[in-house]
Structure 1
Amino acid sequence: MRTQVIEGSIAALRRLYVFPDVAAKLETLLRDRARAGAYNRITSAKALADQLTNDLQSVSHDKHMRMRHSAKPVPDDPPLNAPPSDANKADMRRMARQLNAGFVKVERLDGNIGYLRLDYFLHGDDVGPRAAAAMTLLATTDALILDLRQNHGGDPATVALIVSYLYDAYAEVHINDIYDRPTDSTRQFWTLSALPGPRYADKPVYVLTSGQTFSGGEECAYDLQTLKRATLIGEVTGGGANAGGPVKVGTHFSLFVPTGRAVNPVTKTNWEGVGVKPDIATTAAQAFDTAYLQALRAQRKRITAQDAPHLSREIDQALRTLSRTP
């Protein structure tokens, strides 16, 4: 079992890992550790997976790279660039429906501030209608708090979809690129000219981040920050920018191998290993109140009691409530 998993991992890394030079270092590491008997005393499959993950990350510093053990046999890898199987499509649809396509909460807060919590950027037919429904509810709010504190990633195309809502239809904004090693190609992501539901252009956006914000969640935050379209509030994010997928390396083992890397068109780099740094640093727990306070203060300057008495009272009450929050 150990030899199969180690050799399978080496072959997968050689063939697919986005950084070939690092793949060579990982091969040396695994062979040296195996020769030294480092894995011989491990009797639990899960413990072996955890140890291999730790060893691989100690050299690659790639937080996406992770070994997993499955009680059931791992299915064979599909051919490169093969479309998803019917079973995979069904699994993705089921997951999207169970998780509401990642849309956890949509709300109009007092003071006419919008709030959207997104925990995943899932792919599939369910995403568009839910995005349209969320943006329809938020359309008449005056500022948006986008909560990515528990966002663990997903599809970069869905990130581009959400970012597109924050621009006019005529805008042509280059959001992100992803270089893919297996095909030696680069895919560009731009704002979309056609979207279901209303857009949210030219209004303030505040993005909440935490140390748990990862991968696609980080991409969304990084994209909006580099484009100067949002103010980031919270903690430095997890630091995972390399895209990929699971590869079978043993009968019951799969290794997530990053096959691509994000290349931001503004910075020409990404957030791998360093995370996305917020514009306003605070704890994850305090990020919402901080953003809400900023949005309300901006509203207070813009709205007068004479022009909008009901909204003005809402703003004042919300500000008083926040001032009493410990």
Structure 2
Amino acid sequence: MLTNEHIIDQALNRIVAGYVFPEKAAELDTVIRGRLAAGAYEGLDGAALCTAVTADFQEVVPDKHLRLLWTDVPQTPVRAGDADDADDADENAARAAFSARLREENQGIRRVEQLEGNVGLIDIRLIPSADEGAAAIGAAMQLVAHTSALVLDLRACPGGMPEGAAMWNSYFFPDDQVHLHDIEDTPSGTSRQFWTVAHLPAPRYLDRPVYILTSADTFSGGEDVAYTLQAHGRAVLVGETTRGGAHPTTRYAVTEHVLVTVPTARTISTVTGTNWEGVGVLPDLPVPADQALATALKAAGDRLAAA
């Protein structure tokens, strides 16, 4: 059985090697190793160890994607001298698991409804990849294509894929000429641009009001959709300030049951020049999450009546 010292050492090595802000990673490394040497994690194991270390991570660096996680499903840990192959295996395994989950959950689309007043509602629980999710997203948008206003419910969306977020966002712009944001990757020193998609499997939703419901649980990829559409003036956000995780993340297996999640990149909006990391996405109409739908429907009804 691996010791806590080994687990924390391996996790910190991953963070120092890849974290999006190297100077913060160095600070974190010093503080956590000091706490380890002082006996802060003695007597802890399994999920309890992961919870304690994660709390300390986020006390030093308040990044909600920076975590030590316990998983009941055995993983393949990194092997000495085989780090590159292990990295690929980690990433492939994580993608395969997420793809399987998305297939089980209808690519993250829980329900689509036509509400009173010809207002469409799409309840989104995960953001899929663009390739596997395109057909499901298109089917949902086809069902609301002739509504007078649209509500996207992201209150229970914990995240997903940036390519899928770009596809969702593309439906609310007229063409492929909108530069949404960039993602800057620290380990590779590269930057990737995200633009609206040229060809979509359903009609674009243009010249009609869009409302997005948010909660304190809305996170990561769900925040991407909300923040981007709000920043570009394409949606009104209703509900609570979101959780605040804007850094794309890579998971590494430290042991068979312990993963470290390392934010390796950061999202930069072409409108604001920044992102929602640590602060969340702020609603335009702040109300408790359980009142968000009613508030959005009233706002939509008033706007449609005025028009």
State TM-score, norm by structure 2: 0.92
**Mapped partners of 2:286, 2:73: distance in 1:** 44
The match for 2:300 is 295
Q: In structure 2, what is the Cα distance between the partners aligned to 1:81 and 1:270?
A: 27
* Partner of residue 39 from structure 2, selected from 28, 37, 41: 37
User: What does residue range 130-149 of structure 1 map to in structure 2 within 5 Å?
Assistant: 130-149=136-155
**1:90 deviation in Å?**
5.0
Label 1:293 to 1:244 Cα distance change in 2 as closer, same or farther (>3 A): same
Distance 2:214 2:93 in 1: 34
Q: CA RMSD in A?
A: 2.0
Match of 1:15 among 14, 17, 24: 17
Residue in structure 2 matched with residue 70 of structure 1 by the alignment: 71
Q: Deviations over 1:207-241 (max 9, x none)?
A: 11110110111111110111011111111000111
Bigger mean CA deviation after superposition, 13-22 or 291-300: 291-300
* Separation in structure 2 between the aligned mates of residue 116 and residue 70 of structure 1, nearest angstrom: 31
CA positional deviation for 1:111 = 0.7
Counterpart for residue 47 of structure 2:
46
Show the counterpart of 2:226: 221
Cα distance in 2 for partners of 1:191, 1:283 equals: 31
Change (3 A) 1:135 1:114: same
Give the C-alpha shift of residue 107 in structure 1: 0.9
In structure 2, C-alpha distance between the alignment counterparts of 1:83 and 1:6, rounded to whole Å: 21
Aligned residues: 300
The correspondence of residues 1-326 of structure 1 with structure 2, limited to 5 A, is 1-42=3-44, 44-76=45-77, 79=85, 82=88, 90-123=96-129, 125-169=131-175, 171-302=176-307
| Residue type at the aligned position of 1:217 | G
In the TM superposition, what whole-angstrom CA distance separates every residue of 1:17-76 from its partner, at most 9, and x where no partner exists?
11100111111111111111111232x311111111111111110101111123454214
CA distance in 1, matches of 2:91, 2:223: 29
SS at match of 1:257: strand
Structure 2 SS opposite 1:262: strand
Partner SS state of residue 254, structure 2: strand
Given that residues 243 and 258 in structure 1 are in contact (C-alpha distance below 8 angstroms), is that contact kept between their aligned partners in structure 2? Answer: yes
**Inter-CA distance 83–248: structure 2 relative to 1 (3 Å threshold):** closer
TM-score relative to the length of structure 1: 0.87
Partner of 1:317: none
- Residues 77, 255 of structure 2: 8 Å contact kept: no
Which amino acid in 1 is paired with 2:113?
E
Percent of matched pairs sharing the same residue: 41
- Is the CA contact (8 Å cut-off) linking 2:91 and 2:250 kept in structure 1? no
Cα distance in 2 for partners of 1:187, 1:107 equals 35
From the CA coordinates, give the structure whose radius of gyration is larger: 1
Distance 1:223 1:83, change over 3 A: farther
Gaps of 5+ in 2: 79-83
Distance change in 2, residues 1:197/1:71 (3 Å): closer
Q: Deviations over 1:170-196 (max 9, x none)?
A: x51111111111111111101111111
* Counterpart contact for 2:77–2:254, Cα < 8 Å: no
Unaligned runs of 5+ in 1: 303-326
